[in-house]
């Protein structure tokens, strides 16, 4: 039975959001090709287009809706098709850039892993061109930061966080407080997030780094890229989504798509392993949210019940559900809109030591943000 507050969250799930969720589900790599027609009669297409743009699932939406294109108003149909085309074009640019990065890092004998982006798109949907991405996430060894920065600058990238005028000392200090620096290319619409760790807090996933277990993913066009192995990838995606309280549908869709082929026994092992890796309550929050939207735990009611019984995990899940189902606006555009995100970060691990470290981390981030 739903707990208190869940019914209210379901009321907030509009027909447009319900359709967006179903479009994501039908784009999963493991989805059946035989599906009943999508119900489109009650859809406000202006609202739907705004919603999927905010949640960055336009490519997934058009992938599912294109077979019923004649039932969609022409202006909405054209906008959907154009958005999907732009995502596919960006995917081609990202693939080419990833190939170049891999070659350059290998030439310097620098270990590198590709997080999310095209590797996750291929694993989750079977086609990276369906998944919108605004950046390429590279994970490196902190000891290789200076060399990696030189490679990026040589390739035409410049620092935008911290500022490009920052020297190597400032850049290294920045990476001591933030998990990544951000780089942009003036000639191409590509952003690089250069990671030296996978989580904002050093207490989360401390052993998941560039030297962790990996898998090689074929992203198409003859390109094979290294990313985190399945157990580590699940733990990382759970923590990544939790860091923003899952306010965007894209993130939980990616995770649910990745988990869709997994059986109950494997799902249980993934969760247990995530706890060994230090994902904390983020893993349970992710599984409950994926279950509510996509039925991820239908085959494992025992794990679902276990996670629901944990009061803090359930609280985190409800906070994420409320954020995801509210009106599609950026948290920074709403007064105190980021407060639920910051508060939820304090609950990801138990204990006073973690909470104190979070207070210091968030205070330091506020302090250095003004000098970046």
Rounded to whole angstroms, how far apart are CA atoms 85 and 104? 29
Residue 183 is classified by DSSP as: E
Structure tokens at 350: 């138990």
CB distance 179 to 198 below 8 Å: yes
pLDDT, the chain, mean:
91
What pLDDT is attached to residue 166?
A: 58
Whole-prediction pTM value? 0.93
Q: Is 260 helix (H, G, I), strand (E, B) or coil?
A: coil
DSSP 135-154: -EEEE--GGGHHHHHHHHHH
pLDDT(3) > 70: no
Phi/psi for 24 (5° steps) reads -60, -45
Residue 136 CA: distances (Å) to CA of 122, 323, 330: 14, 25, 21
| % residues pLDDT > 70 (the chain) | 94
For residue range 245-274, list pLDDT tens digits in order.
999 999 999 999 999 999 999 999 999 999
* Residue pLDDT, tens place only, 112-145: 999 999 999 999 999 988 998 878 999 999 999 9
Q: What does DSSP assign to residue 131?
A: S
| Edge-to-edge strand ranges of the sheet holding 180-185 | 113-115, 136-139, 191-195, 180-185, 157-161
Sign of the C-alpha dihedral computed for residues 67, 87, 105 and 178 taken in this order: negative
The pLDDT of residue 372 is above 50: no
Which pLDDT tens digit goes with each residue over 10-23?
Answer: 434 799 999 999 99
Length of the chain: 372
Confidence of residue 369 (pLDDT cuts 50, 70, 90): low
As to burial, measured by CB atoms within 10 angstroms (0-12 exposed, 13-18 middle, 19+ buried), residue 81 is middle
């Amino acid at each position: 039975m739903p707990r208190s507050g869940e019914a209210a969250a379901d009321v907030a799930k509009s027909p447009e959001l319900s359709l967006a969720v179903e479009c994501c589900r039908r784009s999963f790599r493991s989805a059946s090709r035989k599906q009943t027609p999508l119900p489109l009669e009650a859809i406000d297409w202006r609202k739907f287009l705004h919603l999927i743009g905010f949640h960055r699932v336009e490519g997934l939406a058009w992938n599912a809706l294109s077979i019923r294109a004649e039932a969609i108003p022409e202006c909405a149909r054209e906008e959907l098709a154009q958005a999907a085309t732009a995502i596919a074009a960006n995917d081609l640019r990202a693939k080419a850039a990833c190939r170049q990065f891999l070659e350059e890092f290998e030439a310097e004998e620098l270990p590198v892993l590709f997080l999310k982006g095209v590797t996750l798109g291929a694993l989750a949907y079977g086609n990276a061109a369906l998944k919108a991405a605004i950046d390429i996430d590279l994970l490196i060894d902190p000891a290789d930061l200076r060399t990696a920065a030189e490679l990026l600058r040589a390739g035409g990238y410049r620092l935008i966080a911290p500022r490009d005028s920052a020297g190597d000392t400032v850049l290294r200090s920045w990476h001591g407080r933030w998990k990544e620096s951000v780089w942009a290319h003036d000639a191409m619409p590509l952003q690089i997030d250069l990671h030296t760790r996978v989580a904002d807090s050093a207490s989360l996933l401390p052993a998941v780094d560039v030297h962790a277990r990996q898998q090689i993913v074929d992203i198409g066009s003859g390109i094979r890229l290294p990313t985190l192995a399945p157990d580590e990838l699940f733990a990382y995606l759970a923590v990544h989504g939790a860091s923003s309280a899952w306010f965007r549908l894209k993130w939980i869709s990616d995770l649910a798509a990745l988990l869709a082929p997994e059986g109950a026994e494997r799902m249980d092992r993934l969760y247990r392993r995530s706890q060994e890796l230090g994902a904390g309550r983020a893993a349970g929050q992710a599984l409950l949210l994926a279950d509510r939207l996509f039925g991820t735990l239908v085959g494992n009611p025992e794990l679902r019940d276990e996670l629901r019984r944990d009061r803090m995990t359930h609280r985190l899940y409800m906070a994420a559900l409320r954020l995801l189902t509210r009106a599609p606006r950026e948290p920074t555009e709403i007064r105190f809109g980021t407060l639920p995100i910051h508060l939820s970060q304090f609950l990801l691990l138990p204990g006073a030591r973690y909470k104190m470290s979070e207070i210091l981390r968030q205070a330091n981030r506020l302090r250095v943000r003004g000098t970046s």
